[in-house]
A and B are shown apart, each in its own frame.
Chain A
Amino acid sequence: MNKLNIENISLSFGGVKALKNVSFNVAEGELHAIVGPNGSGKTSLLNSISGFYRPHEGKISLDGENLLKLPSHIIATRGVGRTFQHSELFKASSVLDNIKLGRHIHYSKGIFSNLFYWGKTRKEETAARKEIEMEIIDLLELESVRKEPVGSLPYGVQKRVDLARALALKPEILLLDEPIGGMNREEREDMVRYVLDVHDFWDVTVILVEHDMSIVMDISDRITVLNFGQKLVDGTPKEIQSHPEVIRAYLGDGVSAESLSNSVKE
């Protein structure tokens, strides 16, 4: 059963073609990685799924519904949560407020109830706070910083808050844009563990954009390789590892499959 179908999407900025006729499918519950060299259109693809960019051709459908027709805040209500390559957190707000903002679409009380607060809004806020604490802050180990303003936190923790905010949306499909980019080894291992935990225990479909081939090969179920905005191949890590096109894109001509897999293992 496919969760997300991407059919023939093309996206261009002026004369630059960021994506050319890309199609692939993501199955329900899959951890799907998108890899490719810099500028190959990985982030553009994520931005197209979450509605920030509008591909002028093709179709992106989630559970059969075409996302390209929806404004981006509605796409979020369909269960598309995401993290960002460069931190897009609300820096002046506390960690807790950022996570609550992630849950925004699940708060039902409107402005009039909010103005009065005591009563229904209070009940809802308290219940949501409890869920956030139990499910997210506990999982991502953010207890000690929950009331700090996000802007004052170190980069690695900010990335974790970004993930926490995406999780607060209760996503059905989670888009992770280089979640371990720029981290040190320990932070990477923690982050990979969080992603795997979320994927395993929450039954979330995950689309992961990442540079680090060794980690991608280890954790993903399927991999799509992009190069210059075009899909090279997609398949299981085993298939990808030995695929000549991929090797050429990554390492240039004249490199054998064995040396690539060796370099990956290192």
Chain B
Amino acid sequence: MDYFLFLLITGIATGFVYALLALGFVVIYKATRVLNFAQGGLVMLGGYFCFTTLGQFGLHPLLAFSLAAIASITIAILIERYLLKPLIGKSLLSLVMVTIGLGSIIEGFAIALYGTDEQAMPEVLPEFAVSIGSVYIPSIYVWAIIISSILIVALFLFFKFSNLGIVMRAVSNNQPGALSMGIRVNHIFAISWILASLIALAGGFILGSISMMSPSLSIVIYPLFAAVIIGGLDSIPGALIGGLVIGVLQLLVAGYLGDLTGASFKTVFPFLILLLVLMIKPYGLFGTHEVERL
């Protein structure tokens, strides 16, 4: 029972991080119809930015995070300007492949700068002991839940009420329409990339603190695909639910069936769920089914 509780709570914490990161996909997909395969790379890069400013430069956390955020924003703007903009209106394959290529470029970049060894993220968050019953929960999981839920709520409010958020929703609904209203659509594209990269920064910091920093952190992207597909690619609540479900199920399955199925099952399992969902509800649980016309 304690074991179950432990798995459940760490699963929920992972699920919150997944939900946050899944929002990174949805933000970009909604605005630009690009599924960003480089999101895992951005997460890993964000983690390394924090690692550099906190650990290698030894800056005060606030300053460190601001610097890391500036770096992330710069990268996002560069990506949008030089990789995505030339491909507006190109085929799905081009859009997918450019982000896949970008992902491997980021990974190579990280390997060249930091090597392939695992490194520990400096601990800047206050430690405290949480125990439920006799289960001891490491404080980083609690922090994961807190940070992720704050950011998720902030994003939700941003989209719902802020002017920019409404503009972004308008762009995702009807691009030519938004253009004719005087909205600068390419700015919106850049802003959605910036948002996604900031989300990735936060996610990279949390994930780097939970496990270790290494270029292979970018594989976090794969269970996220399952999360966004289950939720439907363009649905924010869907991404939240998908992220939570995948996070919890993944840890439960790894915890209970790990011996039976082998370690690699943890990576494969979300994809089996994904296949199942695709077979039953092809456009996810909350996604919009595009009606085809002649």
State yes or no: do A and B touch (Cβ within 8 Å). Answer: yes
**With an 8 A cutoff between CB atoms, is A258 at the interface?**
no
**With an 8 A cutoff between CB atoms, is A194 at the interface?**
no
List chain B residues, Cβ under 8 A from A85.
294
Q: Compute how far the CA of A85 lies from the CA of B294 in the bound complex, rounded to whole angstroms.
A: 8
Q: Compute how far the CA of A43 lies from the CA of B294 in the bound complex, rounded to whole angstroms.
A: 9
A55 CB to closest chain B CB (Å) equals 16
Please report the number of residue pairs spanning A and B whose Cβ atoms sit closer than 8 angstroms: 7
B192-203 vs A, Cβ < 8 Å mask (1 yes, 0 no): 000000000000
List chain A residues, Cβ under 8 A from B294.
43, 47, 52, 84-86, 88
Nearest chain-B residue to A86 (Cβ)? B294
A43 CB to closest chain B CB (Å) equals 8
* Interface range, A side: under 10
B267-294 vs A, Cβ < 8 Å mask (1 yes, 0 no): 0000000000000000000000000001
A44 CB to closest chain B CB (Å) equals 10
Q: Compute how far the CA of A88 lies from the CA of B294 in the bound complex, rounded to whole angstroms.
A: 8
List chain B residues, Cβ under 8 A from A52.
294
B7-37 with Cβ < 8 A to chain A: none
Q: Compute how far the CA of A47 lies from the CA of B294 in the bound complex, rounded to whole angstroms.
A: 9
Q: Compute how far the CA of A189 lies from the CA of B294 in the bound complex, rounded to whole angstroms.
A: 26
Q: Compute how far the CA of A47 lies from the CA of B291 in the bound complex, rounded to whole angstroms.
A: 15
B75 CB to closest chain A CB (Å) equals 35
Nearest chain-B residue to A52 (Cβ)? B294
A189 CB to closest chain B CB (Å) equals 27
A31 CB to closest chain B CB (Å) equals 23
B49-69 vs A, Cβ < 8 Å mask (1 yes, 0 no): 000000000000000000000
B290 CB to closest chain A CB (Å) equals 14
Q: Compute how far the CA of A47 lies from the CA of B293 in the bound complex, rounded to whole angstroms.
A: 10
Q: Compute how far the CA of A84 lies from the CA of B294 in the bound complex, rounded to whole angstroms.
A: 8
B292 CB to closest chain A CB (Å) equals 9
Q: Compute how far the CA of A151 lies from the CA of B294 in the bound complex, rounded to whole angstroms.
A: 17
Q: Compute how far the CA of A221 lies from the CA of B294 in the bound complex, rounded to whole angstroms.
A: 27
List chain B residues, Cβ under 8 A from A43.
294
Nearest chain-A residue to B291 (Cβ)? A13
A89 CB to closest chain B CB (Å) equals 12
A200-235 vs B, Cβ < 8 Å mask (1 yes, 0 no): 000000000000000000000000000000000000
Nearest chain-A residue to B292 (Cβ)? A52
B86 CB to closest chain A CB (Å) equals 20
B105 CB to closest chain A CB (Å) equals 29
Q: Compute how far the CA of A192 lies from the CA of B173 in the bound complex, rounded to whole angstroms.
A: 40
Q: Compute how far the CA of A217 lies from the CA of B294 in the bound complex, rounded to whole angstroms.
A: 27
Nearest chain-B residue to A82 (Cβ)? B294
B92-130 vs A, Cβ < 8 Å mask (1 yes, 0 no): 000000000000000000000000000000000000000
B128 CB to closest chain A CB (Å) equals 54
A242 CB to closest chain B CB (Å) equals 34
Nearest chain-B residue to A84 (Cβ)? B294
Q: Compute how far the CA of A7 lies from the CA of B55 in the bound complex, rounded to whole angstroms.
A: 78
Q: Compute how far the CA of A148 lies from the CA of B294 in the bound complex, rounded to whole angstroms.
A: 24
A95 CB to closest chain B CB (Å) equals 21
A4 CB to closest chain B CB (Å) equals 20
Q: Compute how far the CA of A198 lies from the CA of B268 in the bound complex, rounded to whole angstroms.
A: 58
Q: Compute how far the CA of A84 lies from the CA of B293 in the bound complex, rounded to whole angstroms.
A: 11
Q: Compute how far the CA of A255 lies from the CA of B294 in the bound complex, rounded to whole angstroms.
A: 35
Nearest chain-B residue to A46 (Cβ)? B294
A80-96 vs B, Cβ < 8 Å mask (1 yes, 0 no): 00001110100000000
List chain B residues, Cβ under 8 A from A86.
294
A75 CB to closest chain B CB (Å) equals 14
A142 CB to closest chain B CB (Å) equals 23
Q: Compute how far the CA of A52 lies from the CA of B292 in the bound complex, rounded to whole angstroms.
A: 10
B53 CB to closest chain A CB (Å) equals 49
List chain B residues, Cβ under 8 A from A88.
294
7 A-B pairs (CB sep. < 8 Å): A43-B294, A47-B294, A52-B294, A84-B294, A85-B294, A86-B294, A88-B294
Question: Which 3 pairs across A and B sit closest by C-beta, in order of nearness?
Answer: A84-B294, A52-B294, A47-B294
